[in-house]
Structure 1
Amino acid sequence: MSFGARLRAATAARGALCVGIDPHPELLTGWGLPVDPAGLERFALTCVEALTGEVAVVKPQSAFFEAFGSRGVAVLERVISAARAAGALVLVDAKRGDIGSTMAAYARAYLADGSPLAGDAVTLSPYLGFGSLEPALDLAESTGRGVFVLALTSNPQGAAVQRATGPDGRAVAQSIVDAAAARGVGVVIAGNVGDPGLDLSNLGGPILAPGFGAQGGTPADLRRAFGDRLPQVLPTTSRDVLRHGPDPAALRAAACRVRDSLAAVL
């Protein structure tokens, strides 16, 4: 089954919500855990235990694992394996983007069959040129995995590049959306920026919408931002859920509340 088909099945069964697994040092401390590989592992696997039976997608943020070196990456590998075994889709939030053989190597790491870092999908950055992502897009297509390409992000600093106008008169973000539509892949468009000002009419892939929850986005904002494209939207939140740890039942309940608050809108 393609990633798109798996995602549709997962959201139909569990609702359209992606919860980030972001082991930020402040969250580890807030959970009473040491900021070391042991604390990282306990945090991340508690999230897997609590969330994977309730939400369609979990999104481990690779950087927070890489910060602990090889032991942290080993924890990320266990999280990916355990979450997939539990029935959730895994979106590895790596935001990789490079050129040539380096991009091909990133593609093998996150999209190749047999790679311990390969989940069901990965986030990629197109800001070395959308064409630089071709090795990853080709490999994702052949292995049935998904790709979400950054188009319009929730950080204020991104607007200077993403909303800039290119030589053809289109905003850079629009050119990325159009290229993603042509390849049938997903995009990342913030759900907390009001009307994104983008033509999404040709976009067939899913839309990952960060900025929901702790970053200020609400279900009503999603409706205003995406309109008739709402069925393609996968809202994502992290801190709104993770702050309820370390109790797995409290984490699970928080995720269910967020999921249910979105159901009426989506």
Structure 2
Amino acid sequence: MSGRTWTNIVEGNVLSYGEIVLGIDPYLPDVPAEFEPDDGGNDWLLRYLDFILSATIGRIGFVKFQSAYFEAYGLAGLSALSFAMKRARAAGMGVILDAKRGDIGSTAAAYARAYLTPADAGGSGDFEADCLTINPMMGPDTLEPFLECVRRFGKGLFVLCRTSNPGAGWLQDRMTGNRFVSDRLADLITTIGRDCEQDSRLSPVGAVIGTTAPQEGKRLRLLLPNAIILAPGLGPQGGDPAALNALRGSRPGDLLVPVSRGLLRAEDRSISLGDYEILINTRLDQLKATIAAVPSLSATA
């Protein structure tokens, strides 16, 4: 295992930069018109990603790339994703790939090789992330190839637990026996995390729990004392910043807050790139102040 482990990255970067995760979901109608390609192609992606990373490296400790947005642009999108992931990791940012992969047997192993295996250990190196979001709904056995990468290479996982979308409760809030489905997932995350410790008080196996369900989040945090929670939902999804006090535990780094459109969307596409960079940094400062003002659950208990 290399010295670059997910838990070490989280502990160091939260201390230096705070809990915000920059979510990059490239969509041309949301970016300044100056990036508009002349030929209708997708060359704008590389220019846009280079600009965003230049504006935020040294100010944000984490970046989350939503793979679907890159896949939608075909080979140009995948090339741009690889470029951006490599640049962000080289700059010391913790790189999360939001791909929500999950499958059986050799297919799960192939996903783990694609996203969590270093090139010198048999991976391609093109899409190597520090942490990957995964879907556990096909059962614990489907997680094992990803967990092997956690143990061997110091990687991290975020397992879907109680998500931020409006329909999440249809399954995740259902009772199975005398337990909610999300509670069973939280128990699973805690159990498998104990087998993957990275010399840290934080578990490398974390949970995705949305800020749109604060009561569920409060209950689940108690079941996940050492887990890092990735808490999406602030902004357009309607999550309340006050809900963070239910999700932040007692350990530095045990909560990460991804924000994408709330940081990067350009409502006025005629904005100059200089003003766009100022806008991004102003929004970032405001978000940092908002999140820092939310007390932890332990402080309010």
TM-score using structure 1 length: 0.91
Specify which of 137, 147, 150 is matched with residue 127 of structure 1.
Answer: 137
Aligned pairs (5 A) from 1:179-194: 179-184=188-193, 185-194=205-214
Asked if the contact 2:62/2:94 (under 8 Å) is kept, the reply is yes
Give yes or no for contact 1:28–1:39 (8 Å, CA) kept in 2. Answer: no
Q: Indicate the residue corresponding to 1:5 in structure 2.
A: 8
Structure 2 unaligned residues grouped into runs of 5+: 120-124, 194-204, 296-301
Separation in 2, partners of 1:119, 1:252 = 25
What secondary structure, in the 3-state scheme, does the structure 1 residue paired with 2:55 have?
helix
Asked whether the 8 Å contact 1:241–1:254 carries over to 2, the reply is yes
In structure 1, which of residues 226, 251, 254 is the aligned counterpart of residue 247 of structure 2? 226
Of the three residues 100, 107, 131, the one matched with 1:102 is 107
Residue type of the alignment partner of 2:282: A
Give, as a single letter, the amino acid of the residue that structure 2 aligns with 1:140: V
**Amino acid across the alignment from 2:64:** K
Comparing 255-264 and 153-162, the one that deviates more: 255-264
Report the counterpart of residue 196 of structure 2 in structure 1.
Answer: none
- Structure 1, unaligned stretches of length 5 or more? none
- Look up the match of 1:208: 230
Q: Root-mean-square deviation (CA), in Å? A: 2.0
Query: Which of 24, 27, 36 does residue 24 from structure 1 map onto?
Result: 27
Identity rate, percent: 36
CA distance in 2, matches of 1:86, 1:189: 28
* Runs of 4+ with >6 A deviation: none
For the structure 1 residues 30 and 239, does the alpha-carbon distance in structure 2 shift closer, same or farther, using more than 3 Å as the test? farther
State yes or no: 1:41 paired with 2:7. Answer: no
Segment drifting more, 205-214 vs 45-54 = 45-54
Return the offset for 1:31. 6.2
Counterparts of 2:250 and 2:235, CA distance in 1: 20
With 225-234 and 69-78 compared, the bigger mean Cα shift is at 225-234
The farther-off stretch of 197-206 and 89-98 is 197-206
Is 1:111 the counterpart of 2:140? The answer is no
**Does the C-alpha gap of structure 1 residues 36 and 53 become closer, same or farther in structure 2, counting only changes over 3 Å?**
farther
| Partner in structure 1 of residue 185 of structure 2 | 176
Task: State the secondary structure of the residue aligned to 1:188.
Answer: strand
What is the TM-score normalised by the length of structure 2?
0.81
The one-letter code matched in structure 2 to 1:59 is K
**Corresponding residue for residue 122 of structure 2:** none
Moved more, 23-32 or 37-46: 23-32
In structure 1, what is the equivalent of residue 77 of structure 2?
A: 72
Work out the CA distance in 1 between the residues paired with 2:36 and 2:84: 18
Distance 2:144 2:74 in 1: 29
Give the 3 Å change call, closer, same or farther, for CA 37–170 of structure 1 in structure 2: same
8 Å contact 2:183–2:223 — kept in the other structure?
A: no
Per the alignment, in what secondary structure is the counterpart of residue 150 of structure 1?
Answer: strand
Provide the secondary structure at the position in 2 that maps to 1:180: helix
Could you say what secondary structure the match of 1:71 adopts? Answer: helix
- Residues 161-212 of structure 1: CA deviation (Å, up to 9, x unaligned): 111222x422111111111111221000001222116343342120000001
Give the structure 2 partner of residue 262 of structure 1.
291
Letter aligned with residue 98 of structure 2: D
Larger deviation: 168-177 or 5-14? Answer: 168-177
Aligned twin of 2:154: 144
Q: Does 1:59 align with 2:72?
A: no
Alpha-carbon separation, structure 1, partners of 2:283 and 2:133: 25
Give the whole-Å Cα distance in 2 for the aligned partners of 1:18 and 1:44. 15
Q: Supply the distance in 1 between the matched residues of 2:146 and 2:249 (Cα, whole angstroms).
A: 29
The size of the alignment, in residue pairs, is 264
Q: Which has the larger radius of gyration?
A: 2
SS in structure 2 of the partner of residue 98 of structure 1: coil
SS of corresponding position for 1:200:
helix
